[in-house]
Chain A
């Protein structure tokens, strides 16, 4: 199974900050990586797929990069609506696996 490791697990930031979350895969997954935003009591929302492609309707302040085993999600200017948990997911092979999550908190 491919293990996905996210860091940090918690991040404290202020509105307007640039935020970067890292996701590492235990083996190469090419660009088969997605990022999701999850708020309490709500369904997860797809932000990015294929490592860097922005899902339709997602604000352009979100961006993704990386390939192989190391990936990043960047929020260029943190907005109040962005305080949430973020998860990466590999879809290179079954079983599909998620990172442990990164909670972005208000500083």
Chain B
């Protein structure tokens, strides 16, 4: 079955760190650019970060640049998001999403999301 399954969310204090994981199955993971997209409570969707299939190129939203790192392990078919210096405004459901084309396109497969809450 083609699917994405996120994990690693939880409650963290401001200034803390968290690492999210996304396990992919049912498609050739190493071929596709992968992304993280988030949705804060009561808000819309916000693209966070992208990484190419090889892992050689990455891109970040200005709101997380310098604090978040994206990476992937093709031997484990897993995408990661390392989140440091977390702020209250990072509270959101984080979704893993697969690119429909190659680099910088639409998202044709999404996970169910993992909730990150930044609060003291």
Where the two chains meet, the residues of A that have a C-beta atom closer than 8 Å to any C-beta of B are 32, 34, 36, 38, 42-46, 49, 55, 87, 89, 91, 93-101
Chain A interface secondary structure, helix, strand, loop or mixed?
loop
Q: Quick one: which of B44, B50, B104, B108 contacts A87, CB cutoff 8 A?
A: B44
User: In the complex, A94→B50 CA distance in Å?
Assistant: 10
Can you list 29 A-B pairs, Cβ within 8 angstroms, ordered by A? A32-B105, A36-B45, A38-B39, A38-B45, A43-B95, A43-B110, A43-B112, A44-B45, A44-B107, A44-B110, A46-B100, A46-B107, A49-B100, A49-B105, A49-B106, A89-B45, A89-B47, A89-B106, A89-B107, A91-B106, A93-B104, A94-B59, A95-B47, A96-B47, A96-B104, A97-B47, A98-B44, A98-B47, A101-B44
Residues in B neighbouring A32, C-beta threshold 8 A: 105
A55 touches B108 (CB 8 A): yes
> By the criterion of a CB under 8 Å from any partner CB, how many residues of chain B are at the interface?
23
A98 touches B106 (CB 8 A): no
Residues in A neighbouring B53, C-beta threshold 8 A: none
